[in-house]
Amino acid sequence: MTDHTIPKHVGIIMDGNGRWANQRGMPRVEGHRKGAGRTKEIIEAAADLGIKTLTLYAFSIENWKRPHDEVITLMDLLDFYLKTEIEDLLNKGLVFKVIGNKEKLPDNIQYLVEEAERITGSNTGMNLMMAISYGGRDEIVRAVKRFIEKGGDMDEVNEESFEENLDTGGVTPVDLIIRTGGEKRISNFLVWQAAYAELFFTDTLWPDFTKEEFIYAIEDYKLRQRRFGMIPDKAET
């Protein structure tokens, strides 16, 4: 039997900005600009559907290896986004949080992120998590360090206690990962949290991804049968 319920936690790998721009003979930055503009509609759609947590993969830890110019452009866009859009998201009651290796971010971005997290901390709406300077493996290594720093005892190591030390500590595992842009890979996104995630891949490039396709992905998820390694009850099959 299928679950028919909407996912509690949805992650999106927002890929395809560069190709979108290339196809139009534009510089890659235009794809990133257009892509950043798409997030608002999808965030609103997710909140309207009653999704508890939306995690958007905006910049991977590997993306630091891109040409300096592109990295600077992406940081500038992030700076602009945090200054202009967050205010609106606050008013919608969202709780904003960044996951990832924040220490690698420029000071101005770190400051804006801290501000946004602080201001939205007491909201009660959807959790909006932005994965910036994020790598799943890096997150796991940092979680191990945190555990040791706190004086964690070997006997206390189990999946639950470990999970609390991840950047996503306290958030339920990701139920559905959507990847735009045609690639069928995870690219270091939510490596631990995605152990039993359902996956939805689309060729649509991120700047062309619409609310309608997002809703389609959620409907598709509702038809999945999640088994978590078990054998479904005969009456339910």
Catalytic residue set? 15, 63
Strand-pairing partners, residue 98, are 130
Contact between 59 and ligand IPE by CB under 6 A: the answer reads yes
Contact 104, 135 (CB under 8 A): no
Of 13-21, 75-83, 107-115, 116-124, the window that binds Mg ion (rule: CB under 5 A) is 13-21
Contact between 202 and Mg ion by CB under 5 A: the answer reads no
Strand 9-13 vs strand 176-179: parallel, antiparallel, or unpaired? parallel
Contact between 58 and Mg ion by CB under 5 A: the answer reads no
CB of 70 to ligand IPE, least distance (A): 8
CA gap 220, 237 in Å, rounded: 18
Please identify which residue in 73, 108, 187, 204 interacts with ligand IPE, judged by CB under 6 A.
187
Residue 200 touches which member of Mg ion, ligand IPE, none, C-beta under 5-8 Å by kind: none
Contact between 185 and ligand IPE by CB under 6 A: the answer reads yes
Nearer to Mg ion, 17 or 165 (CB): 17
Interface mask toward ligand IPE for 9-38; x: CB under 6 A: ----xxxxxxx-------------------
What one-character-per-residue DSSP string does the chain give?
A: ----SPPSEEEEE---HHHHHHHTT--HHHHHHHHHHHHHHHHHHHHHHT-SEEEEEEEEGGGGGS-HHHHHHHHHHHHHHHHHHHHHHHHTTPEEEEES-GGGS-HHHHHHHHHHHHHHTT--S-EEEEEEEE-HHHHHHHHHHHHHHTT--GGG-SHHHHHTTSTTTTSPPP-EEEE-SS--S-TTSSTTTTTT-EEEE--S-GGG--HHHHHHHHHHHHT----TTSPPPGGG-
Contact between 205 and Mg ion by CB under 5 A: the answer reads no
Of 1-9, 55-63, 119-127, 221-229, the window that binds ligand IPE (rule: CB under 6 A) is 55-63
Binding positions for substrate are: 16-20, 28, 32, 60-62, 64, 66, 179, 185-187
Binding positions are: 15-20, 28, 32, 60-62, 64, 66, 179, 185-187, 198
Nearer to Mg ion, 15 or 139 (CB): 15
CA gap 48, 135 in Å, rounded: 29
* Amino acid making up residue 212: E
Q: Which residue is nearest to Mg ion (CB)?
A: 15
Please identify which residue in 11, 15, 179, 198 interacts with Mg ion, judged by CB under 5 A.
15
Binding site for ligand IPE (CB under 6 A): 13-19, 57-60, 63, 74, 181, 183, 185, 187
Binding site for Mg ion (CB under 5 A): 15
